[in-house]
Amino acid sequence: MSSLPILSLLVFAPWLGALVLASLGNKLGAKSSRVVGLLSSGSTLGLALVILANFAPAGAGYQFIERHSWISALRVDYHLGLDGLSLLLVLLTGLVSPLCLLASWKIQRAPHHFAALFLLLQGAALGVFLALDFFHWFLFWELSLVPAFFLIKIWGGEGATRAAYQFVIYTLAGGACLLLAFAAIAVATGTFNFTELATLAASGQLAAKLALLGGLWPKVIFIGVFLGLAVKAPLFPFHTWLPATYAEAPSGVSMFLTGIMSKMGVYGFLRILWPLFPAELHAAAPCLLGLALGGVVFGAFAALNQTDLKRMVAYSSINHVSYCLLALFAVAGASNAPAATAALIGALLQMFNHGLSAAALFACVGMLEARSGGRRGIHDFGGVRTLAPLFAGFCGVAMFSSLGLPGLNGFVGEFMIFSGVFGLAPWAAGVACLGLFATALFLLTFWQRVFHGPTGAAVAAFRDLDRVEILTLLPLVVLMVLLGVLPQLLVGLINPLVTTWVSQLP
Amino acid sequence: MHLPVSLVWLIPALPLLAAGIAALAPRSCRTLAAGAAIAAMIAAFVISCLALHTALADPGAKLVANFEWFDVGAGAMRLGWLLDPLTAFMCVMVTFVASLIFIFSTGYMKADANFKQFFCFLSLFAAAMLGILVANSLLLLFICWELVGLASYLLIGFWFHKPSAAAAAKKAFITTRIGDLGLLLGLLWLADSTGSLLFYDGGNGVLEVAALGSLASQVTVGGLAVSTAIGLLIFCGAVGKSGQFPLHVWLPDAMEGPTPVSALIHAATMVAAGVFLIARVYPLMSADLALPLVPLHALTVVAFIGAITALLGATIAVAQNDIKRVLAFSTVSQLGYMMLALGVGSWVAAIFHLLTHAFFKALLFLGAGSVIHAAHHEQDIRRLGGLRGRMRITFATFAIGMMALSGVPFLFSGFWSKEAILHAAHGWQVSHLPFGAALVAVVLTAFYMTRLVAETFFGTARTEETEHAHENSAVMTVPLILLAVGAVALGFLGTPAFPWLQARLLGEPEVHGHPLFESAGLMMLSIVLVAVGLGAGWAIYGRRPRVALDAVDPLAKAAPGVIAALGNRLGFDELYAATLGRLVTAGATVADFFDRYVWGGAVTMLARLGEFAGVVNRENDESAINGGFNVVSESFRDSGRAYSRAQSGEPQSYLRFIATGFVVLMLLVILGGGR
């Protein structure tokens, strides 16, 4: 087992699939290219399960490490490794990605190109979660934009072109800041390696070396890294690219963007910003806490005002991802070990849980669109539950998971975040309750308008879920219930890691 | 035979299992769904009786079984089960009443297409409530508490094709969620201050001496003890769930659900949860009573809110014309009594009234359901009338329920439990206002119940539907009879002469009664007040029953403005819509505006600036970038063209711009600072 480069396999299997699809192209035919795409995408889940079986949860360090010298002149290594956090996100990617392709099953326009681009995107995301050297981490990070751009632009809705450009330019700008900051870090320290940089930071040498650059450089570098991650996550108010992008992207891609890609930003905060810049983060924490709260409250209230269902779910994504950041910034800003443990466990759970629930909600909106000829206004439907009770049931579970109903997965993460944040910054927990309230309000309004009430003429021909759609939603719904009742399944993977993190806090 | 506490979870688990079976069964499996639900509920009743037997063997003991839910750092999040007389009595009541309501529902919902789903939701509802009762952890209680909210949402909105039902379901969920957020904050605070959420944990629980002492000794904002602040936050949850002022507005609308659901909500499963919660955490709520210098005691707030609610509910009930709405406001009012009892220090009186009320309110709602079912879904009392002879069993049992609710002396359970509350309120040292309010509410209660019975059952049938009404089948009448027996008999468990129930709840091995004449003065007063209410009600509505459909209500004739205002529920809904509703809408508009124009605008401006810089730099770029990059970006551009026809390829030039910047800054850093 140890000889097999399983992490490389994990990253490049989707790309291999993409290569096959791109080179065989039209020869495959629509149906078989869909199947090839699904299988390549599903390889991640298979390999992730193999890793899960061989993963030692008690160890907080990286496992399955692969390290080869790559560009020796710049001391760049090809370096992959996996800990509980990476594993969590790899599992999530493995679960959600094939479902995104299933949700895109009915795409008629160049399905082989769609699948190829999607697999490129998936591989890039996996690379981000596994790379331990900035150099190729950043390659993966930026490479994810290219397929996303084309997926949105070509298969998206009416405003897709504009949204795709906005998305790419905005995140590229953030990426540029990140790149420049890391160039400076590399100059100062001579390494791109995350673990080495973290060790340097822990011993205070990183700060000392950056200070040697003189003047404002340390602050500028921190801000550069911060901006790159903040745009990606996104952190309020760097989120304005998100609603349009999520709304215009085809549903399968929206599922991936919100389920996986938004986690790349949060992952960056946890993997890079926090270990490398603990002092700066601590100093900025009160301000950042405010921004995260802004995302929680503004995101939820803005969602309340949306009539486009996809935009509504997009804003709810901003709200949910902001909870993760809220927890992280609260931990960075105050010291209280039990509360920090709770907050971090909550943040990690929330990443996973939001991946499931937001993906499911986007899939549901996509199914509404597919049935109504592309309409997704909140007032366009009504009484859908009468005609499609199974659909209503699945969508209901996703909705209640999203609003944090106990018994479903969303609650555990949010509760732990609130519990931790209350111990670290009680006022922030109090204010964040506004977000909980508004979330319940807009989700139930959505539900009431779309599913309840008399059956309108517009939905008279609605049918219930077909087999592919059931296959798309069922795994998500089952996991929502399962993880809501047995959160230990996930917590067992991350608790040792979180415990180690907290023990290293000042 | 005893029930080990480690098996108490069976009580909620059985109905949950039934809910699962019903959820997975095909739509046509009506008998299976209903059968599973009823069988599970009866089995849960039997187990509850065993649990009661176990609990009464040593009423002072708190039997607990704690377990780990998931790891948190070196420790774990622990939950647990609890068995004491309070849990056991409540379980027996809930399972018994719920069983009868389930049986009644098989008749009432016979014609409904979603029959199977109905029993699934009913079972879930009961399971969640039973979970609240057996939880030994505020977190586990909160989880079940929210599931009660979910089930009530599903059931109130059961006829979801009706816009009013869909709206009522949402209103109930959102209104109770406001209170729940308070409960959540209280829970977080409690966990943060004590490091635990278990009620009893061998000395380390939050309701045990060590934790209470430390909570009461710390001071927080406004000079309040921490225990007071936490207690008030927890009380917010109870205010929402138990329909207390000012969050009572959802409860009357909740009657949009099928009538058995109303019976369940109003008697056993939902509104009782708030009262139970306060009784459960009573040691915490009363921890500050020993502190004379704090500005406010948590229980004082409870008492005043309870008194206001009792009076408010009874007043509004006088002017309602919908049979279920009258009962709904009477629930609001009776829950106010229970809160009042909790506030003035007699939690056992509150639980006594909760138990008796569960029986007679379930009876009244099912009776109303029987009437509605017979009269083809007519529920306006002005359009009913004359049902006394047509529906003898319903009439007789409804009358028993009405007398129990009004507090007709000696024979009916409501008299004894209300008496206990009035007695406790009378003895409260802080203020006599709540006692006064409770006395006024006694008169009003007797009055509006008399009106309800007179309008519904006396006089002549005023519509054709009512004309043709006839008694329902045995599945509907037998539950009524059994509940009526309970509505009478239950009172004798807790008379002042032999307060067995109270002693057992308090964990006392001996029952210390005292002769009835010791409190004869107070008892006489309340008997007189009940008589006044009954007499006035009969004089106005009973002696000359309504004949014409559209005859003006005698009270409305006398004081049209007052009755109109009361009929409109004193405008609370309008008030909230105009204030809170507008506030939320404004918040949403502002958030959206900022998003579109302020943050979005700033970004657009930055982008324009960047674009300008890009144009300026373009000429430089062409020469500065090496050929390799151009080739790559060309190929990107080509593929972009192939897909997108007439696009200019802007991101590619941005890529180039960034690469240039990267090189320049690298050089800058290396030459400038990085020596």
Distance of CA B251 to the CA centre of its chain: 8
- Break chain A into its structural domains and give their ranges: 278-506
Segment among A405-409, A412-416, B370-374, B637-641 with least mean pLDDT = B637-641
Chain A residues with CB under 8 Å of B174 CB are 437, 440-441, 444
Mutation target among A219, A223, A242, A447 for the B interface, most CBs of B within 10 A:
A447
State which amino acid sits at residue B332. Answer: V
Q: Which residue has the higher pLDDT, B627 or A471?
A: A471
Task: Measure CA B404 to chain center.
Answer: 23
**End-to-end Cα distance, chain A:** 38
Long-range CB pairs of A126-129, under 8 A, 24+ apart, other chains included: A126/A10, A126/A11, A126/A14, A126/A44, A126/A90, A126/A93, A127/A11, A128/A264, A128/A267, A128/A268, A129/A86, A129/A89, A129/A90, A129/A93, A129/A264, A129/A267
Q: Which two tokens stand for residue B596?
A: 């579109």
Cβ atoms within 10 Å, residue A133 = 24
Average pLDDT over residues B363-381: 84
Cβ-based contacts of A212 with chain B (< 8 Å): 673-674
Measure A419 CA to nearest chain B CA, in Å. Answer: 5
CB contact under 8 A, B673 and A215: yes
- Rank A285-289, B369-373, B616-620 by mean pLDDT and report only the highest: A285-289
Contact A243 B595 (CB under 8 A): yes
Tokens 């049209």 locate to B560
**What pLDDT, on the 0 to 100 scale, is given for residue B626?**
45
Q: How many residues does chain A have?
A: 506
Pick from A298, A405, A441: which is nearest to B146 by CB? A405
Residue B605 has pLDDT above 90, yes or no: no
Cβ of residue A217 closer than 8 Å to a chain B Cβ? yes
Q: What is residue B25's three-state secondary structure?
A: coil
**CA A443 to CA B301: how far, in whole Å?**
33
What per-residue confidence (pLDDT) applies to B566?
Answer: 77
Please report which helix (H) or strand (E) contains residue A173, including its range: helix A160-189
The neighbour count for residue B560, using CB atoms within 10 Å, is: 12
Subunit contact A305:B636, Cβ cutoff 8 A: no
Q: CB distance A169–B670 less than 8 Å?
A: no
Please say whether the beta carbons of B200 and B62 come within 8 A. yes
Which residues on A lie below 8 Å from B673 (Cβ)? 212-215, 217
Q: What is the mean pLDDT of residues B518-522?
A: 77
How far is residue B414's CA from residue B402's CA, in Å, rounded to a whole number? 10
Q: Say yes or no to pLDDT of A476 above 90.
A: yes
Lowest mean pLDDT across A105-119, B317-331, B619-633: B619-633
Q: What is the ipTM of this complex?
A: 0.91
Indicate yes or no: CB of A150 within 8 angstroms of CB of B610: no
**Cβ-based contacts under 8 A for chains A and B:** 204
Mutate to test the interface with A, among B16, B70, B653 (most CBs of A within 10 A): B70
pLDDT one-digit tens code per residue, A122-159: 999 999 999 988 888 888 888 888 888 888 888 888 88
Asked if B144 and B277 count as a contact pair (C-beta separation under 8 A), the reply is no
What is the band of B11 on the pLDDT scale with cuts at 50, 70, 90?
very high
Q: What is the mean pLDDT of residues B298-321?
A: 89
Q: Which residue of B has its CA nearest to A399?
A: B150
| Residue position matching structure tokens 């192209």 | A25
**Residue A225 contacts residue A272 (beta carbons within 8 Å):** yes
Are B116 and B22 in contact, with CB atoms under 8 Å apart?
A: yes
- Verify whether the Cβ–Cβ distance A298 to B143 is below 8 Å: no
Chain A residues touching residue B587 (CB < 8 angstroms): 301, 304, 438
Residue B660 zone, left/alpha/beta (φ > 0; ψ -120 to 50; rest): alpha
Q: Does B426 touch chain A (CB under 8 A)?
A: no
> How many Å from the N-terminal Cα to the C-terminal Cα in chain B?
85
Residue B425 has pLDDT above 70, yes or no: yes
pLDDT band, very low/low/confident/very high, at B646 (cuts 50, 70, 90): very low
Q: How high is the pLDDT of residue B645?
A: 42
Chain A residues close to B585, C-beta within 8 Å = 304
Picking from A168, A241, A422, the nearest residue to B192 by CB comes out as A422
| CA distance, residue A486 to nearest chain B CA (Å) | 8
Pairwise CA distance, residues A486 & B154, whole Å: 24
Q: pLDDT (tens digit, 9 = 90+) per residue, B615-643? A: 776 655 554 444 444 544 554 555 444 44
Question: Among B158-167, B445-454, B646-655, where is mean pLDDT lowest?
Answer: B646-655
Of A82-91, B580-589, B662-671, the range with the highest mean pLDDT is A82-91
For residues A215 and A443, give the distance between their C-alpha atoms in angstroms, rounded to a whole number.
49
Q: Which of residues 17-76 of B touch A (CB under 8 A)?
A: 69-75
**C-alpha–C-alpha distance, residues A496 and A493, integer Å:** 7
Which residues of chain A have a CB within 8 Å of the CB of B599? Answer: 237, 239-240
- In this predicted structure, the answer to whether residue B472 has a pLDDT above a threshold of 80 is no
Distance CA A80, CA B407 (A): 76
Which of A501, A504, A328, A483 minimizes the C-alpha distance to A406?
A483
Question: Which of the residue ranges A117-131, A263-277, B248-262 would you say has the lowest mean pLDDT?
Answer: B248-262
- Predicted confidence at residue B638, as pLDDT, reads 54
Q: For residue A1, what pLDDT is reported?
A: 42
Q: Please answer whether residues B360 and B405 qualify as being in contact, where contact means their C-beta atoms are separated by less than 8 angstroms.
A: yes
Interval B157-171: pLDDT, tens: 888 888 888 888 888
Residues contacting B611, CB < 8 A, separation 6+: none
Q: Which residue has the higher pLDDT, A424 or B672?
A: A424
Is the CB of A488 inside 8 Å of chain B's CB atoms? yes
Contact assessment for residue B409 and residue B368, using Cβ atoms and an 8 Å cutoff: no
Tokens 């891609």: give the residue. A253
Q: Cα(B516)–Cα(B508) distance, rounded to whole angstroms? A: 21
Contacts with B, A 151-170, CB within 8 Å? 153-154, 161, 165, 168-170
Interchain proximity B139–A180, CB inside 8 Å: no
Q: How confident is the model at residue A351 (pLDDT cuts 50, 70, 90)?
A: very high
Express each pLDDT in B567-588 by its tens digit: 777 778 788 877 888 888 888 8
> Could you give the CA distance from residue B519 to residue B136 in angstroms, rounded to a whole number?
37
Question: Does residue A285 carry a pLDDT above 80?
Answer: yes
Is the CB of B666 inside 8 Å of chain A's CB atoms?
yes
What tens digit of pLDDT does each residue of B498-517 get?
Answer: 777 777 888 777 777 777 66
Residue B650 contacts A, CB cutoff 8 Å: yes
pLDDT of residue B618: 61
Task: With beta carbons under 8 A apart, name residues in chain A contacting B650.
Answer: 165, 169
Residues of B in contact with A453 (CB under 8 A): 160-163, 166
Contact B457, B85 (CB under 8 A): no
Mean pLDDT for the stretch of residues A383-392: 86
Q: Is B580 strand, coil or helix?
A: helix
Cβ atoms B212, B227 nearer than 8 A: yes
pLDDT of amino acid B136 = 92
R_g (Cα) of chain A, nearest Å:
22
Q: Can you give the pLDDT at residue B143? A: 93
Annotate B10-24 with DSSP letters as a single string.
Answer: HHHHHHHHHHHHHHH
B177/A440 touch (CB, cutoff 8 Å), yes or no: yes
C-alpha to C-alpha distances, B551 to B139, B464, B555, nearest whole angstrom: 53, 17, 12
Choose the closest CB to A436 out of B169, B181, B669: B181
Could you give the CA distance from residue B264 to residue B5 in angstroms, rounded to a whole number? 26
A36-60: average pLDDT: 87
> What mean pLDDT value characterizes chain B?
82
Above 70 in pLDDT, residue B664?
no
- In A, which residues are within 8 Å of B175 by CB distance? none
DSSP assignment of A182-218 equals HHHHHHHHS--BHHHHHHHHHTTHHHHHHHHT-TTHH
Of A179, A237, A301, the CB nearest to B588: A301
Average pLDDT value over all residues in chain A: 87
Q: How many CB atoms lie within 10 A of CB B511?
A: 13
CB atoms closer than 10 angstroms to residue B101 = 28
Buried b (16+ CB within 10 A) or exposed e, B624-639: ebeeeeeeebeebbee
**Chain A residues 416-445 with a CB less than 8 Å from chain B:** 416, 418-419, 422-423, 426, 429-430, 433, 436-438, 440-441, 444-445
A232 in contact with B at a CB cutoff of 8 Å?
A: no
Angle CA A486–A410–B179, to nearest 5: 115
Dig out the tokens for A482 from the structure: 């399962």
